[in-house]
Each structure stands twice: as structure tokens, then as C-alpha cells.
Amino acid sequence: MLREISLKDALEIAKKREVSSGASDDGMKIKVSEIIGKIRMSGDEAIRELNEKFDNYSGEIEVSEKELEEAVAKVDANVLRALEIAKKNIEKVSRMCMPKNVKVKNEFGTVEMRWNAIERIGIYAPGGRATYPSTVLMCCVPASVAGVKEIIMCTPPNASPVILAAAKLCGVKRIFRIGGAQAVAAMAFGTESVPKVGKIVGPGNAFVNEAKKQVQGMGAVDIDSPAGPSEALIIADKSTEVEVIAAEFLAQLEHDPDAESVLVCTDRKLLQRVGAKVDELVKVSARKEIVEKALEKSFAVVCSIDEAVEFANEYACEHVQLSCKKAGKVAERIVNAGAVFIGKQTTIPYGDYSAGSNHVLPTSGTAKFASALNILSFMKATYYVKVEEGKEAEIADAGIAIAEAEGLGEHANAIKARKKKTD
């Protein structure tokens, strides 16, 4: 049965949320730091050593074109078609989100902000409990639309053929058999085989998350948001079928024993019926052990729709699903979420796979300040400023006054030297 807690207790949980990469102990941080140091010091030699140590693999680091073709041949044709549909929809959304350059003309000249793509990015595609070709698409497609010139990918040596097929579909030219923290280090600093990238994206285990945070902290590379366990918040009322809510509640839980689902509903009898259905579905789940463990963290709350909205914005969940009347109006009030799925027909897995939105989303309450992975994640804005000779009087005087107020005389002198030429 679902664990019901009070709204007050739920709000307290929401206020205390934080990203947990599983790397809070110093021992893991030290191990990751040592791995990064090895890769920086010994490059490919260290990769081979760590591949053998952690994955019992001693073959080539880079996947050949022939191996890519063989991988594609092993994947079911229906899966390949499904990946193509998903890719098409992600491309469509990404293109529509392409930012425009802005040029402002003033009395003194122009100020322009131009968007430029990061030149090379690295994708991490995990192995582990499940295989996620969809994540390869979610990371690669927006980067490609953004104009990234080169996309590379690291994945553990035992990568499923469908991971390699998804990468080939997305035009990834170079794929490396490297997993864990060593993959992150290789992409962040470069080795004889692996080129250095400007940004690393993609989920991973605790070691991968910790490695991403460490290399970013070194100023070596940018990363996407640290990824915590998957999570969903469902707001439901009596207008929705019990089976629909129960299935939605379990969907994210099968990812990971640390995953979490929260049901916020307007009626206690509905909650009880959903709880009974959840119990029934868990018994026949193919991932029963994982789901049962995740259920221990999950909970339910009974409250009004207004209170549900307040809680949702405080909880700032990765996924919010609205199975209630006037779901569109309710959605307008949800401002802290990775993605919002509107109406009982719109299940979260549509966003996970084929709708065109991205499933690399902020978790653990970070949706209060972080965004879903999108085309802007692979771009950077640069200002271009041009002051016309003889037209700078107003900004020159203002600049000199501010520089002198800050005690930066050489800044003021740089302006005066140019102003003098035009006086």
C-alpha cells in the first residue's frame, strides 16, 4: 500500500531535497580523483589498465566502422524505425528552439550577441542495469542541430549493439570503449586516442557523477546538471482512471532502487484504490525487486489542487504528470519542474522516448534553477561590441567616471586615450 504522509511533512521533505550522487563519502571522492590523475598522467595506457581492471576488457579502445555496421545489423528493424521517429521529433523541437542573434544599434555604435556552438562535445552512455539508446538521441540530436562540429561518445566495453546503432544514427563519428570515471577524465583532458571536449553530457553511476563534478571544478570542461535518481510527481483527481495513475506511478520506479514517485491526489478513496492497484502491478513487474525497493522512498499526499501546485513548485520534480480536470490551466502554474506532462493521455514515457522533448532533466529539486538539456546546452553567447570613432562621447564620459569611482585608473586611461584622438 502507498505510504501516505501529511502535506506539512511533504513540504518539509521538499525543502530539504538535494542532489545525491552517491558520492558523499570521502573514500569514493578519493578513488575518483585517483582515476582522473591516472588518466591525466598516462592517457591511453591508463585507459587500458582500468578497462581490464573494471570491465575485464583488453581490446581496442575505439569502435571501428565495421563494428558499428555489425551492431546496426543486430538491432531489430522495429527498434531502428522507432529510434528514427524519436530522432525526427527531437530534431523538430530543437530547430524551433534555435536562438537568434541580436544586434542593437546605439548612438555610439553597435552591441551584438551571437550564439556559437561548442566545437566538440562528449556523450557518456552508461551500461549497468539497463540500456538507454534513447539517451544517446537526447544528448546527440540537440548538439547536432546546435551546430556542434564533432560529437564523440564513451560507453563501457560491453555496450549493447543498440547503443552503438543509436550513436551511428545520430552521426557520432568516434565511439570509445571506456566506462566510469575514466571515460569522463579521458574526454575532459584528452589522451592519445580520445580528443578533449568542451562539454560532457549524459547520465551515469555515482562514480561518473562525481568525476563530472571534479573535472568541472578543475575548469577542464563544462557538464550538464548532476543527475540524481529518476523521479515523478503525479497530480490526480477522480476524473482519471485508477489503472492509469498506478501505471504512471510505477513507470519511473523501475529505473533504480533509489528512484521515487509521489502521488498528490484530491481524494483519499482514490489514493487507496491506486495503492491497491500499485500492489497488484508490482507483483507481476519484470523489475519487481527494483520497484519494491524504490516504493520504500515513495509516498502519497491528499490535498486540494491549489495545495498540490504549491507542493509541486516546492518539490521541483524531474517529471510532473497532471491527471486532473483543467490540466492545461494547472500546468500554467507549475514553474519548477524538469518537464510537465499535461492531461491523463500524456504519459511521462512519451517524453522519455518519442515526443521530441528531452529526458535529460534536472532532478532532486534542482528544477528550481536548472533546465532540461536543450539546444542552448550546446551553445554559448558572445558579445560583439563596436564603437564608431567620434560617436563615443556619452559612453566615454560614463566609463571614465565609473572607472575612477572604482579606483581603476588604467581603465579610465584606456578610454581617455581613445577619446583624446577624437576631441
Q: What is the pLDDT of residues 37-65, one digit of tens each?
A: 999 999 999 999 999 999 999 999 999 99
Q: Does residue 359 have an active-site annotation? A: no
Considering only CA atoms, which of 374, 364, 360, 375 is closest in space to residue 136? 360
Could you give the CA distance from residue 343 to residue 385 in angstroms, rounded to a whole number?
Answer: 47
Contact 87, 141 (CB under 8 A): yes
Question: Which domain-ending residue is among 312, 336, 357?
Answer: 357
Specify the pairing of strand 150-155 against strand 120-124. parallel
pLDDT at 180: 95
Based on the fold, state whether residues 311 and 196 are members of the same structural domain.
no
Q: Which helix (H) or strand (E) holds 37?
A: helix 26-42
Based on the fold, state whether residues 248 and 186 are members of the same structural domain.
no
Q: How many CB atoms are located within 10 Å of the residue 67 CB?
A: 15
Q: Could you report how far apart the first and last alpha carbons of the chain are, in Å?
A: 81
| Domain interval for residue 328 | 7-20+228-357
Based on the fold, state whether residues 73 and 186 are members of the same structural domain.
yes
CA torsion, points 92, 96, 97, 98, in degrees to nearest 10? Answer: 100
Q: How many CB atoms are located within 10 Å of the residue 273 CB?
A: 17
pLDDT at 22: 46
Question: Which domain-ending residue is among 191, 223, 255?
Answer: 223
Name the stretches of the chain with pLDDT < 50.
21-23
Based on the fold, state whether residues 325 and 416 are members of the same structural domain.
no
Question: Which domain-ending residue is among 180, 204, 223?
Answer: 223
Catalytic residue among 260, 314, 318, 392: 318
Based on the fold, state whether residues 325 and 194 are members of the same structural domain.
no
The pTM is what? Answer: 0.92
Q: Does residue 319 have an active-site annotation? A: yes
Q: SS3 of 110, please?
A: strand
Catalytic residue among 248, 314, 319, 392: 319
pLDDT at 422: 62
Distance, CA of 165 to chain centre: 21
Based on the fold, state whether residues 64 and 188 are members of the same structural domain.
yes
Q: CATH number of the domain that 41 lies in?
A: 3.40.50.1980
Based on the fold, state whether residues 243 and 198 are members of the same structural domain.
no
Based on the fold, state whether residues 217 and 259 are members of the same structural domain.
no
Q: How many CB atoms are located within 10 Å of the residue 237 CB?
A: 22
Specify the pairing of strand 260-265 against strand 231-236. parallel
Rg (CA), the chain: 25
Considering only CA atoms, which of 130, 139, 145, 143 is closest in space to residue 201? 139
Could you give the CA distance from residue 233 to residue 315 in angstroms, rounded to a whole number?
Answer: 9
H helices of 170-319, in order, are 180-189, 206-217, 242-251, 268-283, 288-295, 305-315
Name the one residue in this structure whose C-alpha cell is 563534478. 213
Distance, CA of 120 to chain centre: 18
Could you give the CA distance from residue 102 to residue 382 in angstroms, rounded to a whole number?
Answer: 11
